[in-house]
A and B are shown apart, each in its own frame.
Chain A
């Protein structure tokens, strides 16, 4: 266990260095949050149909999504991507560590630490500054019930674990294919479309919504957002978190097997 703990600490320390990126991220996420809100408020104003989320729930869903933006597994660890490209990944393979566990620990740090830097200013802005600026209707509201708040907390932990699992899985696929472009853009499309960051998943047609249950992607963002906004409530909270836990176990087991199989026959780039 000791080497993994040390690795986690090193990664955490280095990630705290990226403060400028956090500032840029803050403005970008705030801007996109506000555009999405204006667009959805207009949609709500025009409709006579019954909508699966209320306007207040949608506002919370959107802000929480922008706050959690950095946990989305858009990219694999840039360090690992560079190593695979220049062949240094060979050093990773000869370490007396379990490759999956080693990369997974790094991925958990990569997905969780940036939120700490980003969430605090985002929450201050969305929950406290917007009402002061005269837009209480745009503001992030507290969860409707205590259960929703606690459920969101647990769900967030599993969301990070699912996201890290997807990240490592994609890294392993990158190791498998020589051409990286396919894996990278495919991952981007899946994450962009299926996590709820583009459009909240409850707005999708029912056929697609049912399909999302067979994929791990909604566990990364949609589940914590829906629990927080109250559209998943009661015992479904426990069921949904259980489903997230299932995806963590699934990704860890298949990932470990894939890593074992790959390390037997991998060809590292020379150079």
Chain B
């Protein structure tokens, strides 16, 4: 495991060096990504400007939900883009090469690429979060600060878990299944708004099956000191981001199970 992590770190450095060779292009891409992802927030602003309120939620409170989930998504996206190529490796048979190396499989695959330009989204999330924190007037305490980091950490784990599951499916389908993007890109979009505006079945899906509400909506309710419209107990809001970590662990087990079922395409 330790040597695997060291190996991942080396991969990371090589990937960074490679990207820094094309510095101009890299900066352009990052700025492009910043504005592209900022559009999502401008869309939310347009709606608030037109409608005034969303149930009893204001733009600043939604910006807090938006900022935290965007940061979590951006970190996971930067770290684990390599998983995107997994389906391609399985299809071409190149996956066999990873299998014969005596290092952690998952870290090798994740380490294939470390996409720095995706930091554009991270900066954008930080930017929106900073605005939310300045305008909101939150009564901060140490537990709340910790909960904030716990929420972002749990969210990052959840998204990495989703990317891993997406890659795992390719052991059976031998091609990428883009439909899974509904849970990642669609998930971010969903979690940008308070969970309470959605239909019951939809809420349950994002609480119990893909625990997005657990890593974002519930902890943010505590930070904002709002009553829970879904009526879950308060202790649950404090521990719920752990669901993201459990999800990641489950996805790693699923990946290992998938690898055992891997049959090379032989080409």
State the A residues within 8 Å of B (CB): 20-21, 23-24, 27-28, 31-32, 35, 38-40, 42-49, 51-52, 179, 181-182, 184-186, 188-189, 192-193, 198-199, 203-205
Contact at A35–B197, with CB atoms within 8 Å? no
Contacts of A43 in B (CB 8 A): 47, 50-51, 54
A42–B189 Cα distance when bound, in Å, is: 15
A21–B176 Cα distance when bound, in Å, is: 11
Contact at A192–B46, with CB atoms within 8 Å? no
> Is B24 engaged at the interface, CB distance under 8 Å to the other chain?
yes
Contact at B46–A185, with CB atoms within 8 Å? no
Q: Chain B: interface secondary structure? A: helix
For the complex formed, measure the closest distance between the CB of A204 and the CB atoms of chain B, giving whole angstroms.
6
Contact at B47–A199, with CB atoms within 8 Å? yes
A42–B175 Cα distance when bound, in Å, is: 38
Contact at A47–B52, with CB atoms within 8 Å? yes
- Count the B residues whose beta carbon is within 8 Å of the partner chain — how many? 36
Q: Which of A38, A179, A181, A188 contacts B202 (CB 8 A)?
A: A38
> Is B145 engaged at the interface, CB distance under 8 Å to the other chain?
no
For the complex formed, measure the closest distance between the CB of B188 and the CB atoms of chain A, giving whole angstroms.
11
Q: A43-B51, A181-B28, A193-B39 are known; give 19 further A-B pairs, CB within 8 A.
A: A23-B179, A31-B186, A38-B199, A39-B193, A42-B55, A46-B51, A46-B52, A46-B55, A51-B51, A179-B24, A181-B29, A182-B32, A185-B29, A185-B32, A189-B32, A193-B42, A193-B43, A198-B40, A198-B43
Contact at A44–B51, with CB atoms within 8 Å? yes
Contact at A31–B182, with CB atoms within 8 Å? yes
Interchain Cβ contacts under 8 Å between A and B, 21 examples = A21-B178, A28-B181, A31-B182, A39-B47, A40-B47, A47-B53, A48-B52, A181-B25, A181-B28, A181-B29, A182-B28, A184-B32, A185-B28, A185-B29, A185-B36, A188-B36, A189-B39, A193-B39, A199-B47, A203-B50, A205-B49
> 3 shortest A-B CB distances, which residue pairs?
A185-B32, A42-B197, A24-B178
B38-80 near A? 1/0 per residue, CB < 8 Å: 0110110011011111111000000000000000000000000
> Is B35 engaged at the interface, CB distance under 8 Å to the other chain?
yes
> Is B98 engaged at the interface, CB distance under 8 Å to the other chain?
no
Contacts of B178 in A (CB 8 A): 21, 24, 28
Contact at B51–A49, with CB atoms within 8 Å? yes
> Closest residue of chain A to B199, judged by CB?
A38
For the complex formed, measure the closest distance between the CB of B267 and the CB atoms of chain A, giving whole angstroms.
20
Contact at B28–A39, with CB atoms within 8 Å? no
